[in-house]
Amino acid sequence: MLKSVSVLALDGVTPFEFGVVCEVFGIDRTADGVPNFDFKVCGPEAGRPLRMSVGAHLTPDHGLDALAGADLVAIPAFHRSDYPEEALAAVRAAAEAGSTILTVCSGAFVLGAAGLLDGRKCTTHWMHADELARQNPTAQVDRNVLFVDDGNLITSAGTAAGIDACLHLVRRELGSEVTNIIARRMVVPPQRDGGQRQYIEQPIPVRCSDGFAPQLDWILSNLDAPHSVGSLAARASMSARTFARRFVEETGRTPMQWVTDQRILYARRLLEETDLDVDRVADKAGFGTATLLRHHFRRIVGVTPSDYRRRFSSDESACAATA
């Protein structure tokens, strides 16, 4: 049962991620039928102001000892890469004593520094996922999801994904009714679909060879044309086998994987910037049919084209064009 929540605060704490935890767990909503949590903000020293990341200060009422015994220890993001050893020791001790640990965004790096990510599934903001994996080589870092529930460790992706993780934990521990009450008060959906893939920009890969660059440029200028490894190899005056090998060396992707990635990137731009219906988007991006576009779009981006357009279109009228 989730009754007590302690939040770790350190110098460099970011206000939004800290505020997410406070909003979900720190507000008394007993009048609405939500159980009240024993909520504590804990720093290296009770009463000592901490510098936030935005030119303000936060003063915790409790020291690190108040992490001990909490049902949930929440760790927001920090604009720093080093963490006090006493804070890491307190997080380790809480985990060993049975507390659930929840991190928001780059708060996952605190778990890594505390040695709690070894062999564990986790996530963080997509911009920091590679660095988290580099620092914690045995961790299973999922770059595509909004949050990962790995039992006593719950890690979330960037910023607003912390809301998803917190509400998920409430649902897991207290049920959907309580979750829906909190979500309505926050004016957020109780559960979002898709993952953070839909928020990741997909730039064209850096080209390493001037000799191969014209091949990629031609493909990008002719995405709506049918392509195969054989046809692309013939245009480059190479055997299919040599072309495929060179392509992987240059881009890190097979020819057809790369073509599909670029078609999806172009489709995303069309959905954001035009009012073309899905059939026309599919045709211009080289998928041929809306069915094929939807298949690859959901696989790569994580949501359907229509959902993506509703979230990212710069023209509200374009949303009606997406069936």
What average pLDDT does the structure give for the chain? 89
243-281 per-position pLDDT tens digit: 999 988 888 789 999 899 889 988 988 988 899 999 999
pLDDT > 50? residue 323: no
What is the predicted pLDDT for the residue at 201? 54
Residue 205 pLDDT > 70: no
Of the pLDDT bands very low, low, confident and very high (cuts 50, 70, 90), residue 315 is low
Q: Is the pTM of this model over 0.95?
A: no
Looking at the predicted structure, is the pLDDT value of residue 8 above 90? yes
DSSP line for 125-153: -TTTHHHHHHH-TTSEE-SS-SEEEETTE
Q: How far apart are CA 209 and CA 293, in angstroms?
A: 31
Q: Answer whether 52's CB lies under 8 Å from 13's CB.
A: yes
- CATH number belonging to the domain at 4-199, selected among 3.30.365.10, 3.40.50.880, 2.60.120.680, 3.30.479.30: 3.40.50.880
Domain boundaries, the chain: 4-199, 213-321
Q: Is the pLDDT of residue 207 over 50?
A: no
Cβ of 36: how many Cβ atoms within 10 Å? 12
pLDDT above 50 for 18 = yes
The per-residue pLDDT for range 34-81, each reduced to its tens digit, is 999 999 999 999 999 999 999 999 999 999 999 999 999 999 999 999
Proportion of the chain above pLDDT 70, given as a percent: 90
Task: Rounding to the nearest 10 degrees, give the CA dihedral for residues 173, 175, 176, 180.
Answer: -70
With a cut of 90, say whether residue 196 has pLDDT above it.
no
Token pair 């374009």 is found at 318
- The DSSP secondary-structure symbol of 46 reads T
pLDDT value at residue 261: 87
Superfamily of domain 213-321: Homeodomain-like (1.10.10.60)
